[in-house]
Structure 1
Amino acid sequence: MTTSTEPSTKALFGITGLDDILGGGLTRNRLYLLEGDPGTGKTTIALQFLLAGAEAGEVGLYITLSETKQELCDNATSHGWSLDKHLAVFELVPPESLFEESQQQSLLYSSDLELGESTRAILQAVKERKPDRIVLDSLSEIRLLAGGSLRYRRQILALKHYFAVQGATVLMLDDLTADVMDKAVHSVAQGVVRLEELTPEYGAERRRLRIAKYRGQRYRGGYHDFTIATGGAQVFPRLVSLEHKTAFARTQRASGIGALDALLGGGIEQGSSTLILGPAGAGKSLLAIQYVLAAVARGERAAMFVFDEELGILLDRTREMGIHLEALRDQGLLFLEQVDAAELSPGEFAHQVRRCVDTHAVKTVVIDSLNGYQAAMPQENALILHIHELLQYLNRQGAATFLTVAQHGLVGSMTSPVDLTYLADTVVLMRYFEARGQVRRAISVVKKRMGSHEDTIREYAIGSSGLTIGAPLTHFQGVLRGVPVYLGDATELGPAAD
């Protein structure tokens, strides 16, 4: 997202992805709400907000009503932060006299006294420190002390006007434990950021956020994945491919195997996507690797994101074919990443791919396989949209993308876990078939948007030297069904030609 506002006029969170979603940060001298259930990351993001201000020379004040100062400092220490050197922490706790019998009264509700005392303590702390940024944690305590929606709203309005006079940018935290239906602060706040935590049936928890409201400012809508690790929160903005158009020459790229290039009408175009379909063990990964090797031979960089196969096994079996992927990785020509589908959200994966392409000018990308990508989002209903935006983004960067999909079954009729044939620019089909008591392999191109391609079916073999593709199977009928009928001379039924 682009914005005409200079960054210096906004209060940055210090979290690149979140600042991008907000169109450059928060408008200064306004009140904002950061809400979410306990454990969603509100405190971590709030601390990063104050620390970003401290780095810019601004005074920060953290007012805590629920956590102790020591708990807050311990939380910061776990991320490698030191609060004492950067900002002030004001711990607002009930006076010890409230537990003494002599101080108990019955003419006034204790909440009436506590709310007034708490408010005066907050105002005094702000007056003494004159902060540029304030975090108030949390609104649940004030809501409980107010006792009613009307009084609670008036209290928030009073605080808002006081903070505005002081010229402070305020971030109020709400853990939604008191009354989740109370939207009083939503109407008062300039903007509302909502944090959510999802727990899949298997794997790590998933966190996401969305901007529920932001007055007078364009922002990136929808849900955005984020994670919390040592060092703070990382936000991965939802990928919008239309924002990333680049100019490039759409030239053909050969694979280095003459028969394969002939099958594809000369090669694969830059800025296009190729879907490789086939059963397990058919050689889909090896076919994609052939284009990786060809890209490196041209002096380009390539990237492989491996979901299914253990990286060590991949390196070992390709090394036996004379393909040294590890050496290419060590030279910085190939970026090889193992992706754990159970630990990675779709937004984080898209961010990894984008960072690799943008930072290292990668022109060939392999995602192996989409079955693993689908496993990364078992409860997502927008898999097709995620993949569509990622493919469109890579196409607009001039990258040739290869995606593999393992179909269910081995021979005959097979199904795919997800149908992406209409999204891909080229579709390559790999098949097993039986001939004279042997299991053999066949390859064909069933779709190619740009340029012509062969409509033949060729036999191929996988050996110690890698992939070998032979002549078209003109004497067979029914190869794609798995059990073909041979129509030629029996003496012609030999191994795949080189």
Structure 2
Amino acid sequence: MATETANHLQTAKTGVPGLDDVLVGGLTASNIFLLEGAPGTGKTTIALRFLITGAEAGERGLYITLSETEKELRNGAASHGWHLADEIDVFEVVPPESLLDADQQQSLLYSSDLELGETTRTILTAVERTQPKRVVLDSLSEIRLLAQSSLRYRRQILALKHFFSRYGATVLLLDDLSSEATDKTVHSIAHGVIKLEELSPDYGAERRRLKVSKYRGRAFRGGYHDFAIRTGGVAVFPRLVAAEHRLRSARETMSSGVAELDTLLGGGVAQGSSTLVLGPAGTGKSTFVLQFISAALQRGEKAALFVFDEELGLLFDRTRQMGFDLEAMRDRGSLHVEQVDAAELSPGEFAHRVRSRVDGAQAKTVVIDSLNGYQAAMPAENALVLHIHELLQYLNRQGASTFLTVAQHGLVGDMKAPVDVTYLADTVILLRYFEARGRVRRAVSVIKKRTGRHEETIREFRISENGLTVGAALDEFQGVLRGVPIFVGHAPLMNLGAMADDDD
């Protein structure tokens, strides 16, 4: 009995990156699992990887196909660079020849009755001959059509379940939902159910996600998880749950490298916190976050920059003129720069890429520029806020300082952001245009800081070939944030007022 209990608790890993994490270890051995999804969602690819992983562990596998030929399966495996080893048998279930001959068609019995019985017998014979530890049955739609009734279909699946249990095999049943998609017969019989879905956005590549809707006697990661099919197989990106990551570090104050900006920030930003740079297009949001990257690299740390809105070649040329040689930083290996195509990347995969830079490369400064591009990858604003919340919480607990930019609509006056995440960020830096002496100028202020006090003034700043320069407080003007300030002091613009004449 103790041995049986141990065998029952053994786990058959799928070998699919991320899927075993969702399943908290894999599939419990000697049980039947249902993998369902519309054609093209990746069922066959996952099933082949499941058998190959078993073969690598010395377990014999059997792929029973009622819909594809052995040649098609082997070609599909080869497209991912896989070779079906000798430990994997492919068994094709073909219709009996008598059913293809019109002269030998039965007149008193439905041909489906004979074909179902013949199909079942061939499957049982193949299993008895090979005695596999892992079995894939592809697909249930063919058996459902042959059974012709829900009762007969259920009894047939139950019979197969008891038969497989005698051999202690872990079985993966594939269902393409091409017939009677509302039939949940197998759901109640299977030990676990994994559902694959493909979504078609209005623009961009298709999005795929999966959900474990049932797993008897085992905890699993609930909800939807994004996944992708690429050369090399399926990669699953488990939904990020920040509460599972408890690593904390000392929250030291990090300098921006600009003394006046540090003063405005009350000394700098806290390590392991999030900072949002908010402002209309062209105010210099990217320049501010690049200043923090430059300061981090000067401290000997590593950083990661994820760019949604700008082509990398243009970004490198533009920032080089401001004193930030991002290309050289990247070539030295201290900075990871990645251009993100929101139309081709799911939010789950993006979070996975960010995590890989923090966990693997030990990046301590992460910049997402901008959330406007990130929003394009999301189906709804509410989902965007939830994704950002989990990502920021995770990064904070890893001791990484995160900087995000959001472009507001408009140039001066009352402006609105496409998504409000100010309440999520620990620090909020606000950038504004204002008009003075017939010139368009820029102002910066800090409107929020959770980790300490900050200066409440508004300062003028400029961007030149020497980088970012922040001036003294504009304490003799009112209405700077509205865009048209009123002079209330006793002297004309000072400090940066003179430097502003040199702006491009």
Question: Shorter-normalised TM-score: what interval?
Answer: over 0.9
Amino acid in the other structure paired with 2:43? K
Higher deviation after alignment, 119-128 or 88-97: 88-97
User: Quick one: distance in 2 between partners of 1:291 and 1:458?
Assistant: 18
In structure 1, the partner of 2:369 is: 368
**Deviation for aligned residue 1:377:** 1.2
Identical-pair percentage: 68
**Deviation for aligned residue 1:436:** 1.2
- Indicate conservation of the 8 Å contact 1:50/1:133, yes or no: yes
User: Quick one: distance in 1 between partners of 2:233 and 2:401?
Assistant: 34
- Indicate conservation of the 8 Å contact 2:34/2:193, yes or no: yes
Secondary structure of the residue aligned to 1:481 is coil
In structure 1, the partner of 2:502 is: none
In structure 1, the partner of 2:355 is: 354
In structure 1, the partner of 2:177 is: 176
User: Quick one: distance in 2 between partners of 1:160 and 1:359?
Assistant: 43
Matched, 1:210 2:211: yes
In structure 2, the partner of 1:244 is: 245
The Cα offsets for residues 125-173 of structure 1, whole Å up to 9 and x where unpaired, read as 0001010000000000000101100000000000000000011000000
In structure 2, the partner of 1:322 is: 323
Secondary structure of the residue aligned to 1:106 is coil
**Deviation for aligned residue 1:371:** 0.3
- Indicate conservation of the 8 Å contact 2:309/2:369, yes or no: yes
**Deviation for aligned residue 1:37:** 0.7
Matched, 1:398 2:396: no
Secondary structure of the residue aligned to 1:452 is coil
Amino acid in the other structure paired with 2:300? G
Distance 1:380 1:166, change over 3 A: farther
**Deviation for aligned residue 1:6:** 12
Q: Which runs of 4+ in 1 moved over 4 A?
A: 5-8
User: Quick one: distance in 1 between partners of 2:381 and 2:43?
Assistant: 24
Matched, 1:144 2:123: no
Amino acid in the other structure paired with 2:284? G
Amino acid in the other structure paired with 1:32? F
RMSD between aligned alpha carbons?
1.5
Task: State TM-score, norm by structure 2.
Answer: 0.96
Higher deviation after alignment, 52-61 or 95-104: 95-104
Secondary structure of the residue aligned to 2:333 is coil
- Indicate conservation of the 8 Å contact 2:253/2:269, yes or no: yes
User: Quick one: distance in 1 between partners of 2:272 and 2:393?
Assistant: 9
User: Quick one: distance in 2 between partners of 1:307 and 1:342?
Assistant: 10
**Deviation for aligned residue 1:488:** 2.5
Higher deviation after alignment, 220-229 or 87-96: 87-96
Amino acid in the other structure paired with 1:92? V
In structure 2, the partner of 1:55 is: 56
In structure 1, the partner of 2:111 is: 110
**Deviation for aligned residue 1:341:** 0.3
Amino acid in the other structure paired with 1:105? Q
User: Quick one: distance in 1 between partners of 2:248 and 2:493?
Assistant: 49
Task: Map 1:66-81; keep pairs closer than 5 Å.
Answer: 66-81=67-82
Higher deviation after alignment, 364-373 or 322-331: 322-331
In structure 2, the partner of 1:130 is: 131
Amino acid in the other structure paired with 1:278? G
In structure 2, the partner of 1:377 is: 378
User: Quick one: distance in 2 between partners of 1:309 and 1:490?
Assistant: 41
> Any unmatched runs of 5+ in structure 2?
1-5, 500-504
- Indicate conservation of the 8 Å contact 2:59/2:87, yes or no: no
**Deviation for aligned residue 1:496:** 4.3
Distance 1:7 1:470, change over 3 A: farther
Task: Map 1:150-229; keep pairs closer than 5 Å.
Answer: 150-229=151-230
In structure 2, the partner of 1:262 is: 263
- Indicate conservation of the 8 Å contact 1:469/1:496, yes or no: no
Task: Map 1:294-443; keep pairs closer than 5 Å.
Answer: 294-379=295-380, 381-443=382-444
**Deviation for aligned residue 1:321:** 2.0
Secondary structure of the residue aligned to 1:151 is helix
Amino acid in the other structure paired with 1:279? P
Higher deviation after alignment, 98-107 or 352-361: 98-107
**Deviation for aligned residue 1:91:** 0.6
User: Quick one: distance in 1 between partners of 2:164 and 2:139?
Assistant: 16
Secondary structure of the residue aligned to 1:480 is coil
User: Quick one: distance in 1 between partners of 2:287 and 2:488?
Assistant: 31
User: Quick one: distance in 1 between partners of 2:7 and 2:293?
Assistant: 41
Amino acid in the other structure paired with 2:48? L
Distance 1:7 1:318, change over 3 A: farther
Distance 1:399 1:171, change over 3 A: same
Secondary structure of the residue aligned to 1:360 is coil
User: Quick one: distance in 1 between partners of 2:215 and 2:37?
Assistant: 17
User: Quick one: distance in 2 between partners of 1:254 and 1:74?
Assistant: 56
The Cα offsets for residues 277-299 of structure 1, whole Å up to 9 and x where unpaired, read as 00111100110011101111111
Higher deviation after alignment, 67-76 or 252-261: 67-76
**Deviation for aligned residue 1:379:** 4.5
**Deviation for aligned residue 1:461:** 0.4
- Indicate conservation of the 8 Å contact 2:8/2:29, yes or no: no
Secondary structure of the residue aligned to 1:459 is strand
User: Quick one: distance in 2 between partners of 1:185 and 1:307?
Assistant: 44
In structure 1, the partner of 2:288 is: 287
- Indicate conservation of the 8 Å contact 2:13/2:50, yes or no: yes
**Deviation for aligned residue 1:247:** 2.5
- Indicate conservation of the 8 Å contact 1:7/1:24, yes or no: no
In structure 2, the partner of 1:444 is: 445
In structure 1, the partner of 2:235 is: 234
User: Quick one: distance in 2 between partners of 1:180 and 1:497?
Assistant: 72
Secondary structure of the residue aligned to 2:429 is strand
Amino acid in the other structure paired with 2:324? I
Amino acid in the other structure paired with 1:127? E
Number of aligned residues? 494
